[in-house]
Amino acid sequence: MELKGKPVDQGYRMPAEWEPHSQCWIGWPERPDNWRNNAVHAQDAYVNVATAISRFEPVTVCASSAQWNKARSMLPEHIRVVEMSMNDSWFRDTGPTFVIGNCEEKQNNKIAGIDWNFNGYGGLDGGCYIDWGQDLLIARKVLEIEKTPRFPHSMILEGGSIHVDGDGTCLTTEECLLNKNRNPDLTKEQIENELKSFLGVKKVIWLPRGLHGDDDTNGHIDNMCCFARPGVVLLSWTDDESDPQYERCMEAISVLTNTTDAKGRKFEIFKLHVPGPLYMTVEEAEGVSQDGDAKLRIPGTRLAASYVNFYIANGAIIAPQFGDKKWDTEALHVLSSAFPGYEVVGVEGCREIVLGGGNIHCITQQQPAAASALPN
Ligand code: KQY
């Protein structure tokens, strides 16, 4: 069912990721021009992520008709596998952004999904792939399967470019949302107004840039900074002044320390040091097919690897591990401090996901539980 108008006028808001979920949606990597060796290694990593999340909430994995049987055979039985066409498998960006009824308005049993416009991360102006026709339909298909009403929106927006605290504040980056390859005809103020009326937020905090090397997404916020709860953020970090990431960290921390959230709170900031630096090897680049419409992969490219790209499941943090012993371990400690009471689960092998351009947060999409569906 299509809903007209703006979610905020109808009592909806986007909940924070730590609010209860009814399930998690994940795609299935397949395209050989993005995932090396016909995606076999990425598929292993996706199975590990889906399996880890499924300890805490139901998971649905969507796979193309060509891959359904393989996905079904690789995933544990309790994970639902449904057939869905896609151009690539980043459900954070192509899935719906779910919104729920606003508790204050006693309409908290409602749920709907925003179906943003999508242009393959920048269309013909530096986008990741040229044909995004199937990705454009993913949000709508998910909402059909769930019989959930849909708010269509003409603005280009990937879910990985926004984070909310569920309490009035949105975090994003100018590098992505103001990029001329997304919505060249909208001003910053107009984009802010759309975020306010669709996500139900009162304040948008703009970091200038995302993570160094995150060129596929033009600096998505979900690789750079996220909320742990209202007034508390985690920021991708480096202490190495010679790392090009350093300047980005300084810019971001300056914005975050000189602002308050929608409720006037100063931010407590947890620094999550980046791994490595990590670079794409010759073998990894050579495993990616050049026969397709995806961006070419070049050996020696700095990987946009960040521990901020984790998923908050019901009661657990599902965090990437890159095989960097020092920073992998440190990240799990920082996450445990930032999320007391949560089980922190590190998923090995996430280098394979970052090779494709993202990580755990980018491949997942939480479906919030409408309040009426929650146990008392
Ligand atoms: O990080 C993400 N949200 C996905 C980026 C898409 C990369 C396509 N190669």
| Residue 39: CATH number of its domain | 3.75.10.10
- On the question of pLDDT at 277 being above 90, the answer is yes
pLDDT of res. 147: 97
Neighbour order of strands in the sheet with 150-156: 12-13, 97-101, 111-117, 150-156
| Per-residue CA distances from 97 to 13, 38, 353 (Å) | 10, 29, 22
pLDDT of res. 192: 98
Are the beta carbons of 9 and 29 closer than 8 angstroms? no
Rounded mean pLDDT of 116-143? 96
Are the beta carbons of 85 and 49 closer than 8 angstroms? no
The SS3 call for residue 313 is: strand
Domain count, the chain: 1
Under the banding of pLDDT at 50, 70 and 90, the label for residue 243 is very high
Residue 358 forms part of a structural domain = yes
pLDDT of res. 104: 59
Closest atom, ligand 1, to C-alpha of 309: 1
- On the question of pLDDT at 151 being above 80, the answer is yes
pLDDT of res. 373: 47
Is 308 a pocket residue for ligand 1 (Cβ < 6 Å)?
A: no
Closest CA to 252 of 203, 217, 212, 311: 212
Range name among 197-211, 255-269, 359-373 with the lowest pLDDT average: 359-373
Count of residues making up the chain: 376
Residue 209 forms part of a structural domain = yes
Alpha-carbon gap, residue 251 to 9, rounded angstroms: 35
Q: What is the mean pLDDT of the chain?
A: 96
The residue range of the domain holding 252 is 7-368
CA of 356 to the centre of ligand 1 (A): 7
Residue 79 forms part of a structural domain = yes
Residue 373 forms part of a structural domain = no
Single pTM value for the model: 0.96
Is 214 a pocket residue for ligand 1 (Cβ < 6 Å)?
A: no
Pairing of strands 59-63, 21-26: parallel
Residue 125 forms part of a structural domain = yes
pLDDT of res. 217: 97
Rounded mean pLDDT of 267-293? 96
Rounded mean pLDDT of 176-200? 98
Under the banding of pLDDT at 50, 70 and 90, the label for residue 376 is very low
pLDDT of res. 109: 82
Cis peptide leading into residue 277 (ω within 30°): yes
Residue 374 forms part of a structural domain = no
Neighbour order of strands in the sheet with 163-164: 163-164, 169-173, 203-207
Is 135 a pocket residue for ligand 1 (Cβ < 6 Å)?
A: no
Alpha-carbon gap, residue 311 to 187, rounded angstroms: 31
- On the question of pLDDT at 371 being above 80, the answer is no
- On the question of pLDDT at 224 being above 90, the answer is yes
Residue 1 forms part of a structural domain = no
Range name among 46-55, 245-254, 287-296, 346-355 with the lowest pLDDT average: 287-296
- On the question of pLDDT at 103 being above 80, the answer is no
Are the beta carbons of 203 and 170 closer than 8 angstroms? yes
Is 122 a pocket residue for ligand 1 (Cβ < 6 Å)?
A: no
Q: Is 24 exposed, middle or buried (0-12, 13-18, 19+ CB in 10 A)?
A: buried
- On the question of pLDDT at 105 being above 60, the answer is no
Mutate to test the pocket of ligand 1, among 46, 90, 172, 365 (most ligand atoms within 8 A of CB): 90
Alpha-carbon gap, residue 109 to 159, rounded angstroms: 23
- On the question of pLDDT at 155 being above 80, the answer is yes
Residue 291 forms part of a structural domain = yes
CA of 250 to the centre of ligand 1 (A): 25
Nearest protein CA to atom 1 of ligand 1, as residue? 358
Under the banding of pLDDT at 50, 70 and 90, the label for residue 133 is very high
Told to judge if 225 belongs to the known catalytic residues of this protein, a careful annotator would answer no
